[in-house]
Structure 1
């Protein structure tokens, strides 16, 4: 199998990334380096900072003062081509619920430039170009989003929970397609998800994100002691459970315990009798510091 060799050594090179909305930190000294061809699974609880990190990696949220290089270039001052970010925001765009055909939307995205790739994506994601967006289900809309977003060949793909609406078979075929893209083109993927089944042999790396930083990153080989321990335990009890899925749940449970201990030290709001957290402060700042709505026709 021939693999295209990129002209850069690291597809993701982020060092000491800090970010906030003008209040408590969202990302705190986050660092991540990935070589071309990597498939990195981002694992962390809601609010850990995964979405903020992915949007910054993709240049969708501009910040200053941190080293953020992707595909060998600064993501803001020398924005590289070939970076694709796909998140859940797309589903709220009124365009995707209007009376437009899939064929028209794909044409507007340049499907005629990549006819073979278009046909392959339509097949992998089981999308019919005769569908009309206002008549299809949320899962079908998600599949259309993925076809549209991946039409143009990419070198770095940032996925944020976009497989949540896919059925099991489509998701499996889609992940196989992504794996092939990394193996044949040297492309790189960072994938944030809470659905871990079916991922056992898919990632090359797992990055554990907690409280705005990557607390640990591992390659998926025998040097990853926690994963090897779970594999051994499963063999001893003849368990057919996915070691990767068990590992991810273990990491998330540890995070929940740490957050529970941390919350006991947080002041209680006298009006609600609930802990006052950084997310309460953020809600007041989102309108001022948050992103503008992102869609395909605006990127």
Structure 2
């Protein structure tokens, strides 16, 4: 019998390059089977990096780390049934070419999953006669959702767009594990919520909704909405970052101490690369 966790990660530290601070620092994560987990965190918290690693999209040194999905090592024994819906998909030149949506979906096996494909086409309001190079990024994202979900799956990561209540119901009935960035309107969707900051989990996946026995009850009232929880966590993330910036961390935003010439010729001469 397999583990009770569909996702199991321990001792995971990851750097994008050897000379930078870790994007993930000693991550330990356990997500139970059958859950729908929402990970909350500000930009740069490490959410996307973690999800890419779980999907086998980003190779890491596994020395000392254990990264398992469906009881299988994501690098040495990649598990089937894992769907990764990352935002970079819509920028891929292949999916921005002059190809009709119906032909595109058939080319990736849509005809083998006609019932699921057709249900998703209706929910997502996709026109099979669209040409991929002529549609908007939002419409291309809908095609991606249909593409990613029409094949039965066990684990879905990095689900950024849930466009209608019908799609939520479809995912809720069909899902094992999800991670998302959108909270408004999702109060009844997740079974667990988690909070990441600067590459670590401040709150590991905790059962949702909050009950009187929940690990979250010390922070929030049982009647708190998911939106309120996410908003409070994100505000705390911002306050923490501002405090770190006061203590020497590189600051974001405008450089107010820089002197910008008011004379246009002086300004443009500074950025003249023709010589």
TM range (shorter): 0.7 to 0.9
Determine the structure 1 residue equivalent to 2:52. 55
Q: Partner residue of 1:263?
A: 245
1:201 aligns with 2:196: no
C-alpha contact 1:9 1:72 (8 A) present in aligned 2:
no
Matched, 1:39 2:36: yes
Larger Rg computed on CA atoms: 2
SS in 1 for 2:30: strand
Counterpart check, 1:20 vs 2:15: yes
Q: Which runs of structure 2 are paired with 1:178-193 in the superposition (5 Å)?
A: 178-182=171-175, 187-189=176-178, 191-193=179-181
State the match for 1:174 in structure 2: 167
1:231 is matched with: 223
Q: How many aligned positions are there? A: 246
- RMSD of aligned residue pairs (Cα, Å): 2.2
User: What TM-score does the superposition give when structure 1 sets the normalisation length?
Assistant: 0.77
Q: TM-score, normalised by structure 2?
A: 0.83
Evaluate the alpha carbon distance shift between residue 256 and residue 130 of structure 1 in structure 2; reply closer, same or farther with a 3 A threshold. same
SS at match of 1:231: coil
Comparing 39-48 with 57-66, which one deviates more in the overlay?
57-66
| Structure 2 residue 226 is matched with structure 1 residue 244 | yes
Aligned to 1:134: 133
How far, CA to CA, are the matches of 1:20 and 1:37 in structure 2?
31
Partners of 1:227 and 1:247 within 8 A in 2: no
More helix by share: 1
CA contact (8 A) 1:227 1:244 kept: no
Q: 1:117 to 1:267 in 2, by over 3 A?
A: closer
Q: Please give the secondary structure, in 2, of the residue aligned with 1:54.
A: helix
CA contact (8 A) 2:54 2:69 kept: yes
Shift of the 146–227 alpha-carbon distance from structure 1 to 2, 3 Å rule, reads: farther
Higher relative contact order at CA 8 Å, sep ≥6: structure 1 or structure 2?
A: 1
Residue in 2 that maps onto 1:102: 101
Give the structure 2 partner of residue 69 of structure 1. 68
Q: 1:211 aligns with which of 198, 202, 205?
A: 198
Q: Partner of 2:77: helix, strand, or coil?
A: coil
Residues 220, 229 of structure 2: 8 Å contact kept: no
In 1, the alpha carbon distance for the partners of 2:93 and 2:26 equals: 37
Deviation digits for residues 226-248 of structure 1, max 9, x if unmatched?
5751727xxxxxxxxxx210111
